A = this chain, B = another copy of it.
Amino acid sequence: MLEKTTRMNYLYDFYQSLLTPKQRNYMSLYYLDDYSLGEIAEEYEVSRQAVYDNIKRTEAMLEDYEQKLLLFQKFQQRHKLLHRLKTHIAERYPNDEELMKLVLELEKLE
């Protein structure tokens, strides 16, 4: 469950701009702010079931976007390579600030 939460947090981060405002509200309360379904239902004056259905549909949409665009997968692959690059540079060329700066700029684009 924790693993799923982490994954959903990442997917939400990458694809939130493709969601509707309502989907974004429910998802961020549920996944980022750790509200329960009941608390969200009360906040928006809808049934718990309606919140549940909306969140389930949004989760499926996020997985569908990921299957098509692979942003999270590519992020993870780049993240690993950038880590190896930084380690290599720190060990071999600790005084080459220009080189490390370029890698850190790449990392900032994530």
Interface of A toward B, CB cutoff 8 Å:
15, 17-18, 65, 68-69, 71, 74, 77-78, 81-82, 84-85, 88-89, 92-93, 96, 98-99, 102-103, 105-106, 109
Contact = CB atoms under 8 A, between A and B. Distances in A.
A78 B102 contact: no
A47 B79 CA distance: 48
Number of copies: 2
A102 B85 CA distance: 7
B102 A69 contact: no
B82 A106 contact: yes
Nearest to A85: B102
B69 A18 contact: yes
A89 B89 CA distance: 11
Contact of A81 (B71, B78, B105): B105
B92 A96 contact: yes
A110 to B, nearest CB: 9
